Amino acid sequence: MKLLTGSRGAMFRITAAIAIFAAAAGCAYNETLGRNQLLFVSQGEMAQLASSAWSDLKKKEPISRDPKYTSRVNRVAPKIIRAAGGNPAQWEVQVFASDQLNAFALPGNKIGIYTGILDIMDNDAQIAAVMGHEVAHVLFNHSGERYSQAVATQTGLAAGSAVVGGSQAGNAAMQALGLGVQVGAILPFSRKHELEADKFGVRYMHRAGYDANEAIRFWQKMAASKSGAPPEFLSTHPADATRIAALQREISLLK
Ligand SMILES: [Zn+2]
DSSP assignments along 156-179, one per residue: HHHHHHHHHHT----HHHHHHHTB
**Tens of pLDDT along 17-54?**
555 555 555 778 899 999 898 888 888 888 888 898 89
Q: What is the largest CA-CA distance in the chain?
A: 61
**Tens of pLDDT along 129-155?**
999 999 999 999 998 888 887 777 765
Q: How far is the CA of 89 from the centre of ligand 1 (A)?
A: 23
Cβ–Cβ under 8 Å, residues 39 and 28: yes
Cβ–Cβ under 8 Å, residues 228 and 100: yes
Between CA 104 and CA 168 the distance in angstroms is 22
Burial of 96 (0-12, 13-18, 19+ CB in 10 A): buried
Q: How far is the CA of 193 from the centre of ligand 1 (A)?
A: 7
- Express the helix, strand and coil content of the chain in percent, nearest 5 each: 60, 10, 30
- Given a cut of 90, whether residue 197 has pLDDT beyond it is yes
**Tens of pLDDT along 75-86?**
999 999 999 999
CA angle 40, 192, 247 (to 5 degrees): 140
CA angle 83, 89, 94 (to 5 degrees): 90
Q: How far is the CA of 190 from the centre of ligand 1 (A)?
A: 8
Q: How far is the CA of 217 from the centre of ligand 1 (A)?
A: 17
Q: How far is the CA of 194 from the centre of ligand 1 (A)?
A: 5
Q: How far is the CA of 241 from the centre of ligand 1 (A)?
A: 16
Task: List the single range of 65-74, 153-162, 207-216 with lowest mean pLDDT.
Answer: 153-162
Q: What is the mean pLDDT of the chain?
A: 80
Q: How far is the CA of 16 from the centre of ligand 1 (A)?
A: 32
The neighbourhood of ligand 1, an ion, using CB within 5 A, equals 189, 194, 197, 233
Give the predicted TM-score (pTM) of the model: 0.80
